């Protein structure tokens, strides 16, 4: 009897099936009450006592082997049918691959850094949480200087020495402290100002600031560099510089691009003047060079700074700056084809 069961075990191990029906027939034959399991259970009575133990163990072994076989066959039949579903119709359209889109801020930032990299500027970055020295004092803005009010500042907790940087000029200070001229670097990054949020301004935005320090750098170099940049980015080469004030540059200027008045949009964007302000700039104040360990007798340089968000609004005709930070995919998806 026990040998008979062992034969069944061998049979089970050999068994294969290519349809669910065959697996079911196999299950009924070996595992159901009406099948072999039932039969062996009722035969237990007739087994001599000294063989009962071995008999029971062998029947259990058969049961385990058969149960495992059924599970394995079911699983492999299911896999096979799934694969068939994929491969049986080769004309079926493919699954669409969803491509993400770059954020408009990143697109414009990349464009700007790429243009400056072509004329030898590298990219430098620094911390968003800054100390007073790098954001203000080193930039010729000592404590109580009224021009500190030009940039409403977020301070960290109650420590007036630690703040969220209000411009990436702080990165330029760090760069000058750690590198010797000639310096040609641009510093893109997020900045924070405690301003009311509206369609035109936000309490955080992004800047690219540039710095060029070498022997005999002149205002003409600054103008030429900006001219190159605006032609490359906007395709507009006419610029004008209006005198302005920044504590860290002397002289200082604001840069306007001539956008033109060809369309109604041009008219609206430029408020009927044809000119658009795009950045601030100037010759680095000698005090700033001294503060950063550079000899102003030997070196001079220029700096400029622009808002990426504002330029993104201009280039992509976006009506509200808040769209840039709301993460609405219906908005973001529209930049899929951009750089």
Size of the site for ligand PHE (CB under 6 A): 12
Say whether residue 285 binds ligand PHE (CB under 6 A): no
Q: Do 301 and 212 contact (CB within 8 A), yes or no?
A: yes
List alpha helices for 88-218, DSSP H: 104-117, 132-135, 169-178
Q: Do 206 and 109 contact (CB within 8 A), yes or no?
A: yes
Task: Give the strands of the sheet with 159-164, arranged side by side.
Answer: 129-131, 159-164, 155-156
Q: Specify the DSSP element, H or E, that contains 305.
A: strand 300-307
Query: Beta strand 155-156 with 159-164: parallel, antiparallel or unpaired?
Result: antiparallel
Say whether residue 246 binds ligand PHE (CB under 6 A): yes
Q: DSSP state, 251?
A: E
Helix 104-117 crosses helix 219-234 at what angle (to 10 degrees)? 130
Q: CA 15 → CA 8, 74, 78, 98, distances in Å?
A: 10, 13, 17, 45
Measured from the CB atom, the residue of 8 and 134 that comes closer to ligand PHE is: 134
Say whether residue 247 binds ligand PHE (CB under 6 A): no
The region of 82-90, 198-206, 278-286, 313-321 touching ligand PHE under the rule CB under 6 A is 278-286
**Closest listed residue to residue 292, CA positions, set 207, 187, 183, 130:** 183
User: Of 170-209, which residues contact ligand PHE (CB under 6 A)?
Assistant: 209
Say whether residue 249 binds ligand PHE (CB under 6 A): yes
Task: State the number of CA atoms in the 13 A half-sphere of 177 facing the CB.
Answer: 12
Residue 255 dihedral angles phi and psi, to the nearest 5° = -105, 125
Least distance between ligand PHE and beta carbon 252 (Å): 6
Least distance between ligand PHE and beta carbon 188 (Å): 13
**Three-class SS state of 136:** coil
Say whether residue 303 binds ligand PHE (CB under 6 A): yes
The region of 41-49, 127-135, 226-234, 275-283 touching ligand PHE under the rule CB under 6 A is 275-283
Can you tell me the distance from the alpha carbon of 247 to that of 147, in angstroms, rounded to the nearest whole number? 7
The region of 58-66, 93-101, 244-252, 314-322 touching ligand PHE under the rule CB under 6 A is 244-252
For tokens 């907790």, name the residue: 157
For tokens 């610029």, name the residue: 239
The CB density around residue 131, as the number of other CB atoms within 10 Å, is 17
Give the contact letters, 43-82, x = binds to ligand PHE (CB under 6 A), - = no: ----------------------------------------
User: Of 135-174, which residues contact ligand PHE (CB under 6 A)?
Assistant: 167, 169
Residue 168 dihedral angles phi and psi, to the nearest 5° = -90, 15
Least distance between ligand PHE and beta carbon 303 (Å): 4
Say whether residue 282 binds ligand PHE (CB under 6 A): yes
Q: Which residue is nearest to ligand PHE (CB)?
A: 305
Least distance between ligand PHE and beta carbon 143 (Å): 18
The region of 22-30, 83-91, 182-190, 280-288 touching ligand PHE under the rule CB under 6 A is 280-288
Q: Which of 173, 305, 308, 324 binds ligand PHE (CB under 6 A)?
A: 305
User: Of 16-45, which residues contact ligand PHE (CB under 6 A)?
Assistant: none
Q: Which of 304, 310, 313, 321 binds ligand PHE (CB under 6 A)?
A: 304
For tokens 């349809």, name the residue: 19
Measured from the CB atom, the residue of 9 and 283 that comes closer to ligand PHE is: 283
Binding site for ligand PHE (CB under 6 A): 167, 169, 209, 246, 249, 252, 280-282, 303-305
């Amino acid at each position: 009897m026990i040998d008979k069961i062992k034969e069944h075990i061998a049979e089970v191990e050999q068994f294969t099936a290519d349809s669910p029906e065959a697996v079911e027939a196999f299950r009924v034959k070996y595992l159901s009450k009406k099948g072999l399991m039932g039969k062996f259970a009722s035969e237990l009575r007739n087994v001599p006592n000294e063989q009962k133990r071995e008999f029971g163990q062998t029947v259990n072994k058969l049961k385990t082997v058969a149960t495992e076989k059924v599970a394995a066959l079911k699983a492999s039949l299911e896999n096979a049918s799934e694969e068939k579903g994929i491969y049986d119709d080769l004309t079926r359209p493919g699954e669409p691959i969803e491509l993400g889109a770059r954020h408009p801020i990143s697109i414009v930032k990349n464009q700007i850094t790429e243009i400056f990299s072509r004329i030898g500027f590298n990219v430098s970055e620094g911390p968003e949480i800054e100390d007073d020295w790098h954001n203000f004092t080193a930039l010729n803005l000592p404590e109580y200087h009224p021009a500190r009010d030009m940039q409403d500042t977020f301070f960290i907790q109650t420590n007036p020495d630690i703040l969220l940087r209000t411009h990436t000029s702080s990165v330029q200070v760090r760069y000058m402290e750690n590198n010797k001229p000639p310096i040609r670097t641009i510093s893109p990054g997020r900045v924070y100002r405690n301003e009311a949020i509206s369609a035109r301004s936000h309490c955080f935005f992004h800047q690219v600031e540039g710095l060029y320090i070498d022997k005999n750098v002149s205002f003409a170099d600054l103008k030429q560099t900006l001219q190159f940049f605006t032609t490359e980015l906007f395709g507009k080469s006419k610029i004008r510089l209006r005198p302005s004030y920044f504590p860290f540059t002397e002289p200082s200027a604001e840069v306007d691009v001539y956008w033109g008045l060809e369309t109604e949009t041009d008219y609206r964007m430029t408020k009927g003047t044809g000119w658009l302000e795009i950045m601030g700039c100037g010759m680095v104040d000698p005090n700033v060079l001294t503060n950063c360990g550079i000899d102003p007798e030997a070196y001079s340089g220029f700096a400029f700074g622009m808002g990426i968000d504002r330029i993104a609004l201009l280039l992509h005709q976006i009506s509200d700056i808040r769209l840039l930070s709301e993460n609405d995919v219906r908005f973001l998806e529209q930049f899929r084809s951009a750089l």
